[in-house]
Structure 1
């Protein structure tokens, strides 16, 4: 997977230099000494003793529960999916590593992608972590097409970078190399995703340039979109690069799909946290900074073959 992904990256984020790692470790050490206290046992009367270095940063309610409830569309391999009844993938592994330094469990709850922020706003979840692109429309709670309010915005803790890739049935690229080549064609996507937004925007561009608009088929999850394309429905699909690359590598033993063209719109994935819940947001940011500094982050990124999407530091609301 790594080789195919590396060739198709539209923008490399780069690997950490020794100086960057040293700096991150120094910053994290300072945080532990100043913002979090030392690393001796801390006691929670509900859960007993914990040695987790960042436990005290969490809101008291989460300290008492010992759990962070995660809303996620658990059907997006390799980012999050089920195998033998277990939730696995990039996001669950990163969450587990952060959970160790926070002293709590990240419990993943399945939901449709376009309903995750609604679930976050209604407090069904504490966070949403589901390959969700951090962008201004989600930060501000507005519809990306109309600019009209759709609900309270969210804050993001950015942990990965990904662009959008197009893919077709293997051997049937139909000359598709750029998004302009999709004019007049049928495209399958997951509903409510950046890929869906891009397809709608491109369709308007096609019409503006006096070409046929794109016929868009939007599905509840990416697996349904892939199944539709494989069955002969649609000319191409669009998805985040890790998902498209994983489908190309694994579906039909690598014989079902091929990636076409280059990635576009590289942007950060973010862990979504309700506006105003700054205590939880900042605890998550420090937990991410901690695992970046101690090398656990790099191990997980390498495990899933997506090193080109690695970030060098933990940032809040870095999306545009």
Structure 2
């Protein structure tokens, strides 16, 4: 597939591995995590004591004294972050946060929220950071609404830690004529609200001819979109590649969905930090670089089977 639009919102190009590379780590019932808009509970990763942490002095004093970094996250996006069968928050992001917490001497406390509200929560200081498979884009850095092009906020800084593309998936054995985004003209796609998949669907629909636009149904979380597709309520769904591949491998024991076509829009995931909190931003970068250097990063990436998205170093505002 080829396209040029936005991500979990606005970026570029294609990469990643096959669905078989996604490891199934822990029991996951894709429809069992509930509606995240009703779940405002929090989960903590296991941090370390500040006195034993090599990078603790890089943190702002307020956070160092509290010993906690509050993380806004859409905890319904397996395998990046989700609730396991016991209700514990697990995934790529919580594991990386745990490793970073040991470097910084703090606990990363994950708090659940809908994806499209995370930057607002960061702006209102409900969260210290947002870590939720969020794509680093120029629009987000500058506080621009990607659809209207209008300024809507002061923007955020990102500490980039991973790379992912976007994929289309369908019910297994059905809609075999769908291979690219242009094949969705005249069809219905389900997506999560506020994501690159939604933006890309809107952009591609404008290119459709003969009055055959793409019908887009958007949901608060990806699991709701999957449920809709599973029930036959749409022709296709779209998510970030690791999420789509995980759903294909796990939902219905691998019998519900299939990936179609190639990934597009490969771009960095970033930890979002308020523009005026450069001390915290730089501390997070130092912690990420440390866990990359000591091998903990590679262990996490390998655990979840997403090695092709690994980065060699943390980057600030690397999104385009």
TM-score, normalised to structure 2's length? Answer: 0.84
Work out whether residues 166 and 261 of structure 1, in 8 Å CA contact, stay in contact via their aligned partners in 2: yes
Q: For residues 83-232 of structure 1, what are the structure 2 equivalents within 5 Å?
A: 83=84, 84-206=86-208, 209-232=209-232
User: Is the contact between residue 55 and residue 63 of structure 1 (CA under 8 Å) also seen in structure 2?
Assistant: yes
Secondary structure of residue in 2 paired with 1:119: helix
Distance 1:218 1:138 in 2: 20
In angstroms, what is the RMSD of aligned CA positions?
1.5
TM-score by length of 1: 0.84
What displacement does 1:276 show?
1.3
User: Which runs of 5 or more residues in structure 1 are unaligned?
Assistant: 1-8, 14-46
- 1:49 Cα deviation from its structure 2 partner: 5.9
Return the offset for 1:182. 0.7
Other structure's SS at 2:167 match: strand
- On the 8 A contact 2:50/2:67 being kept in 1, the answer is no
> Which of 10, 14, 17 lines up with 1:10 in the alignment?
14
Between 87-96 and 148-157, the greater mean CA deviation after superposition: 148-157
Q: Say which one has the larger Rg.
A: 1
Q: Is the 8 A contact 2:49 2:106 kept in 1?
A: no
Alpha-carbon deviation of 1:146?
1.3
Say which structure, 1 or 2, has more relative contact order (CA 8 Å, 6+ apart). 2
| Residues paired across the two proteins, number | 277
Structure 2: tracts of 5 or more residues without a match:
1-12, 18-47
Could you tell me how far 1:48 is from its partner in structure 2?
A: 7.8
- Per the alignment, residue 66 of structure 2 pairs with 65
1:246-285 to 2 correspondences below 5 Å = 246-285=246-285
- Helix, strand or coil: the match of 1:53? coil
Q: Would the alpha carbon gap of residues 182 and 107 (structure 1) be closer, same or farther in structure 2, given more than 3 Å must change?
A: same
Runs of 4+ in structure 1 displaced over 3 angstroms? none
- Cα distance, 1:116 vs structure 2: 0.3
Query: Structure 2 CA distance, aligned partners of 1:128 and 1:10?
Result: 25
